[in-house]
Amino acid sequence: MRLHRVLEAVLVVAFCLPSWGQVPLSLQDAIAQAERTNPRLQAVVARRDTASVRARATAGMLSPQVSVSGWLAQGTVTNMLSSAPGAMPDSMRMAERDGFASAQMKLAVPLFTGGRLQAMAAAARRESEAMSAEVQEMVLEVRLEVTERYLQALLKRQLVGVAEQRLQAQEEQTRIMTQLYEVGKVPLAYLLRSRAAEAEAKQELTTARNEFQKSLLDLQVSMGVSPTGEVTLPADLQEPMFHLPGDVDEAIQRALQHRALLQAQQRLLQMRQLERRAAQGALLPQTYLTASGDWTKVQGMSAQSGYTVALVLSVPLWTGGQLEAQVREATSREREQQASLRAAQLQVENEVRRAWLDIQTARSNLATAEAALQDAEEAYRVAVLRVNEGKAPFVEQIDALAALTDARTRLFEARTELLLAQARLLRAMGNL
């Protein structure tokens, strides 16, 4: 009985939940879904989490470290034993001949490392911050991709409607031509030409429907869900509220301030600078405070225990140029990152300017397309009248219908391109 009630509740919830195949998918819902399930975004988030954990691990080098090591040995000669690999701080013990047992607890505290450990920890934090900025950059990229594919899907559906309008008009022309041919008012060539145009219109409709279905698949892939094509789009496009800057200079300033790509590059430059400081710190004296508590038992002797406290000072005098080479390598990487930051700044400015130009072009094309559609509608109306009155050949009406279809297509494309250009501008500015 209890299982029956659970199943009943599950079915009720399932039928009440919205489905993309039933409820129209808004652009905001599509973007929200992509931010949850887009695999490219998930991969960048995982890399950010990895960098964050690595930063915490590096910061741990500044803290006191404690380890416990134990040895059980049997041999014929005296030998030196070390702690297990990876245990920090590491321990060493001289093992006597015959049976030997020992245990040691060791403490190590970094007192002065020339700023090496501090710089390494800070560099790891900057890398983590850079990855967080890259996550934001990928979020913007995913939002733009979903917006583009959503608007493209709406455009493809509108083009299906255009193709349907042409086919309906062409079918009506064929019906009229058939009647006129049967009473001997038009030659057979007119009827055959109308049928050919109708077949062409059917092919265009089939192609338009196919392109629309493929656009739905592309949209679902961007959202990070299985591409089934089972998506319902709203009947009318609710145009996104894009708040654009007043001029291109303002857009560039906002981009340089807010673009996550530049923030990531700046953090990476800081990371390279800190890595150089860490390499330079390795050239300075390294000082640690160590303390250990020991217990030892040698076969045939009484067990001994005690402690040792030591101040360890190490000064690198000669390493064959290894440390100096590491400093030079870190300096070169810093210069490389400086160039990468400058390249990113130029890239962002270029993206903003190109998007701004695309908006101006799209607005001009939209105005032209609106005027062209009005002319095409009037030309088609006149062509129908001329053909019906016998003042023009039938092909004139077919050509006028094709021109009207093309004008409708250009208008929808111009509207979509304007929205896409605006979205790309906001993406370039880091505000999408």
pTM of the model: 0.83
Please report the pLDDT score of residue 11 as a whole number: 34
Q: Say whether pLDDT at 8 is over 90.
A: no
DSSP state letters, 268-333: HHHHHHHHHHHHHHTTS-EEEEEEEEEEEEETTS--EEEEEEEEEEE-----TTHHHHHHHHHHHH
Q: Contact 428/352 with Cβ under 8 angstroms?
A: yes
Identity of the amino acid at 27:
L
Looking at the chain, the whole-number percentage of residues with pLDDT higher than 70 is 94
C-alpha of 250 from chain center: 26
Q: Contact 399/412 with Cβ under 8 angstroms?
A: no
Average pLDDT over residues 37-63: 92
Please report the pLDDT score of residue 240 as a whole number: 64
Q: Which residues pair with 99 in a beta bridge?
A: 74
Q: Say whether pLDDT at 16 is over 50.
A: no
- Residue with the larger pLDDT of the pair 242 and 130: 130
Please report the pLDDT score of residue 303 as a whole number: 87
Classify each residue of 56-83 as buried b or exposed e, where b means 16 or more C-beta atoms within 10 Å of its C-beta. Answer: eebbebeeebebebebebeeeeeeeeeb
Q: Contact 392/400 with Cβ under 8 angstroms?
A: no
Q: Contact 106/290 with Cβ under 8 angstroms?
A: yes
Residue 320 CA neighbour count, 13 Å, CB half: 1
Residues 6+ apart with CB under 8 A from 397: 173, 380, 383, 384, 386, 387
Average pLDDT over residues 273-298: 91
Least confident of 134-143, 172-181, 346-355: 172-181
Q: Domains of the chain by range and CATH?
A: 24-74+112-285+322-429 (1.20.1600.10)
- Residue carrying structure tokens 């303390």: 291
Average pLDDT over residues 164-188: 89
At 234 the three-state DSSP class reads coil
| Structure tokens that stand for 349 in this block | 């400015």
DSSP state letters, 22-78: TSPPPHHHHHHHHHHH-HHHHHHHHHHHHHHHHHHHHHGGGS-EEEEEEEEEEESS-
Q: What is the pLDDT of residues 136-170, one digit of tens each?
A: 999 999 999 999 999 999 999 999 999 999 999 99
| 315 CB-contact burial (10 Å; exposed 0-12 / middle 13-18 / buried 19+) | exposed
- Whether the link from the prior residue into 316 is cis, omega within 30° of 0, is no
Closest CA to 422 of 153, 273, 242, 154: 242
**Sign, CA torsion 82/84/85/91:** negative
Closest CA to 282 of 317, 252, 242, 249: 317
Q: How long is the chain? A: 432
Q: Which residues pair with 245 in a beta bridge?
A: none
Torsion angles phi and psi, residue 379, rounded to 5: -65, -40
Classify each residue of 4-33 as buried b or exposed e, where b means 16 or more C-beta atoms within 10 Å of its C-beta. Answer: eeeeeeeeeeeeeeeebeeeebebeebbeb
Least confident of 50-64, 230-244, 397-411: 230-244
Neighbours of 219 (CB within 10 A): 27
